[in-house]
Homo-oligomer: A and B are copies of this chain.
Amino acid sequence: MRNESTKLWGGRFAAEPEAVFLDYSQSIDADARMAAEDIWGSEAHVLMLGVQGILTDEEVRAILRCLEEARAHVEAGTLALDPADEDIHMNLEKFVIRGAGAEFGGKLHTARSRNDQVVTDSRLHLRNRLLDVLEALAGLQEALLARAAGQERTVMPGYTHTQHAQPISVAFWLTGHVAALMRDGQRLLAAFDRADACPLGACALAGTSFPTDRALTARLLGFARVEAHALDAVGARDVYLEALSALAILHAHLSRMSEELVLFSTYEFGMVELADALTSGSSIMPQKKNPCLAELARSRTGEMYGCLIQGLTMMKALISGYNRDIQQDKPPLWAGLDLAEQTLGAVAAMVQTMELRTARMSELAGANFATATELANWLVSDRGLPFRRCHEIVGSLVRRLIEERKTLGDARRVAQLLAELGVKAKVAELDFLDPLKCLERQRSLGSTGPSETLQLHVVLVQALHDGRREAASRRRRIARARGRTARAVKHVLRGGSLADCKL
């Protein structure tokens, strides 16, 4: 008597899988978090099969009853998942078969495949998690805007090449990050929208001969549209790569902010002090206060890039259709989403609680020739000299001041040296060499001038509001679809017929 497989797909097989196979191929760890989505997907699928007459109301009811039971287990955290059943789909199908019997439960998998099921589940989960990340992103932007508010005249040195460039305001510095993060929000939303198409019903790769209604399934699951081409729907993973790319670029931005926090909170810069509660000490050096949160946020950028590379490498040179390779789409995707949400929270916490050392900022802004450009510009606009000539004059002037260990704050000496260089200027005329006065003169669109920065602030607050509204409307659409499915399930379980159920 020959050995036979106990797998749901085992008819053709003469032997059970070995442990090495099960260990290496199970995906329960990455799947577990999609249990609720898998159930929702099955509900929608079964309701559709019922509406289309592929299953009877009675069959639909028996299956839905078990699915409700499974959902209760999921919500209570008591659903037992057996790695020997490979994935979440097989675990739940077996649960239904055990509960409803093979006669009824065995009909759940009609007109679908794990290939379309898994990508449906993961898109459902991705949608929610992207909205969570967008919320955390908005939280960070709000924190930055809150700290920027009222700081349009708080002077600090603006840097290029990590060298003093020109005076800027704290508000200008912080809103700069908000502006960059806006584009991250747009990219994440675009990834959401690209993923917002329903693959369910594509079946294994070729569709099916059952008279399914894929638009109905999509509507019940709150998808914006059907991912029509069956071969493409089950075998493509580019929307996940797009999400990972957007997350990687976002994390690059977060690494830049983290770097600034590390740098600005050094003894040498001293412009920022991080909250005690968000830093840590040393096991050996008693005086240390280390910006560990910022360092870790900077470091984990590598983790995010790694997730992206994992996904890209995985997809290289796979032929069309489902290949088991792409089971590994989920670990980097979930890791990336979780990481982004956490890092956004960590950076926001630092931003909210950091102390801005404005006296030190002001001191630095005046210490190292940051107003030299304005002096050159003034020579252009007030004296009508060509900019390139002014640049030379001021360059020579700066060199002289460095030799004399003086700064542009010494307006008298500046006036003397200008005279030597052929430009007559009164000391009083040079008041813009003060960093704050210099700042106030900037007036081009998007500049660090107070009124321009205020205008940037207003625009960014509005954009943040609009972005949140976009996310909220998607969140509501999903909730509405979930409610629609739940009501239909309740209707059927109460003995109602699908014929009189509005879907």
User: Chain B contacts of A228 at CB under 8 A?
Assistant: 179, 445-446, 456, 459
A497 at the interface (CB under 8 A from B): no
Choose among B107, B232, B325, B387 the residue that contacts A107 (Cβ–Cβ < 8 A).
Answer: B387
Q: In the bound complex, do residue A12 and residue B163 qualify as a contact, i.e. CB atoms below 8 Å apart?
A: no
Interface contact A161-B391, CB-CB below 8 Å? no
A166 CB contacts on chain B under 8 angstroms: 204-206, 285
A399 to B287, CA, bound (A): 8
Q: Is the CB of A446 within 8 A of B214?
A: yes
Name the CB-closest residue of B to A59: B386
CB of A210 within 8 A of CB of B320, answer no
Q: Taking A163-B267, A286-B398 as contacts, is the C-beta distance between A319 and B235 under 8 angstroms?
A: no
- For the complex, give the distance between the alpha carbons of A307 and B308 in Å: 11
Per-position 1/0 for A287-301, Cβ under 8 A of B: 111111101111111
A281 to B442, CA, bound (A): 22
A366-398 interface code vs B (CB 8 A; 1 in, 0 out): 011110111111101100001111111111111
Asked if A204 contacts B21 (CB within 8 A), the reply is no
Partner of A268, one of B173, B269, B376: B269
Contact of A260 among B12, B21, B320, B324 (CB under 8 A): B320
Question: Whole-angstrom distance between the alpha carbons of A295 and B395 in the complex?
Answer: 22
- Chain B residues with CB under 8 A of A456: 228-229
Given A296-B327, A377-B208: A252 and B305 within 8 A (CB)?
no
- The reply to whether A277 and B324 form a contact with Cβ atoms under 8 Å apart is no
Q: Is A284 an interface residue (CB 8 A)?
A: yes
Point out which of A288, A293, A370 has the most chain B C-beta atoms below 10 A from its C-beta: A288
Report yes or no: A310 in contact with B306, Cβ–Cβ below 8 A: yes
How near does chain B come to A474, taking the closest CB pair, in angstroms? 17
Which A431-469 residues sit within 8 Å CB-CB of chain B? 441-449, 452, 456, 459
Tell me if B284 and A204 are in contact (CB < 8 A): yes
Q: Is the CB of A201 within 8 A of B445?
A: yes
Please give me the residue from chain B that is nearest to A373 by CB atom.
B285
Q: Which residues of B contact A201 (CB under 8 A)?
A: 444-446
Q: Which residues of B contact A13 (CB under 8 A)?
A: 276, 279, 281, 289, 395, 399
Q: Does A503 contact B (CB under 8 A)?
A: no
Chain B, residue nearest A270 (CB): B268
The chain B residue sitting closest to A18, CB to CB, is B277
Closest Cβ–Cβ distance, residue A386 to chain B (whole Å): 3
**Which residues in B have their C-beta under 8 angstroms from that of A316?**
252, 255, 298, 301-302, 313, 316-317
Cα–Cα distance between A203 and B288 once the two chains are bound (Å) = 15
A312 within 8 A of B: yes
Do B158 and A321 have beta carbons less than 8 Å apart? yes
Q: Is the CB of B233 within 8 A of A446?
A: yes
Give A199's nearest chain B residue, CB to CB: B446
A231 at interface by CB-CB < 8 Å: yes
- Whether B7 lies near A281 (C-beta < 8 A) is yes
A32-40, A111-119, A126-134, A409-417: which lies at the interface: A111-119
Contact B299–A326 (Cβ < 8 Å): yes
Give Cα A375 to B318, complex, Å: 28
**Which of B20, B190, B289 has a CB less than 8 Å from the CB of A345?**
B20
**Of B15, B111, B203, B235, which is within 8 A of A276 by CB?**
B15
Given known contacts A18-B277, A285-B373, is B387 in contact with A259 (CB within 8 Å)? no
Q: Among the listed B212, B253, B278, which residue makes an inter-chain contact with A17, where contact means beta carbons less than 8 Å apart? A: B278
In the complex, which residue of chain B has the Cβ closest to the Cβ of A314?
A: B302
Cβ contact within 8 Å between B284 and A109: yes
Closest residue to A276 on the B side, CB-wise? B15
Q: How far is the CA of A228 from the CA of B459 in the complex (A)?
A: 10
Q: Is A177 engaged at the interface, CB distance under 8 Å to the other chain?
A: yes
Does chain B have a CB within 8 A of A256?
Answer: yes
Which of B259, B319, B388 is in CB contact (< 8 Å) with A318?
B259
- In the complex, chain A residues 239-257 whose Cβ is within 8 Å of any chain B Cβ: 239, 241-242, 245-246, 248-249, 252-253, 255-256
Give which listed residue, B111, B263, B444, contacts A210 with CB less than 8 A.
B444
Asked if residues B163 and A102 are in contact (CB atoms below 8 Å), the reply is no
By the criterion CB–CB under 8 Å, are A161 and B21 in contact?
no
Contacts of A108 in B (CB 8 A): 387-388
Of residues 397 through 431 on chain A, the ones whose CB sits less than 8 Å from some CB of chain B are 397-399, 402
The answer to the question of A146 belonging to the interface, with a C-beta cut-off of 8 Å to chain B, is no
A-B contact pairs, 24 of them (CB 8 A): A7-B280, A8-B388, A11-B394, A12-B395, A12-B398, A14-B276, A54-B381, A102-B386, A106-B386, A109-B388, A113-B285, A114-B283, A160-B323, A161-B290, A161-B291, A163-B289, A176-B229, A183-B242, A228-B459, A245-B248, A263-B319, A268-B364, A287-B394, A303-B332
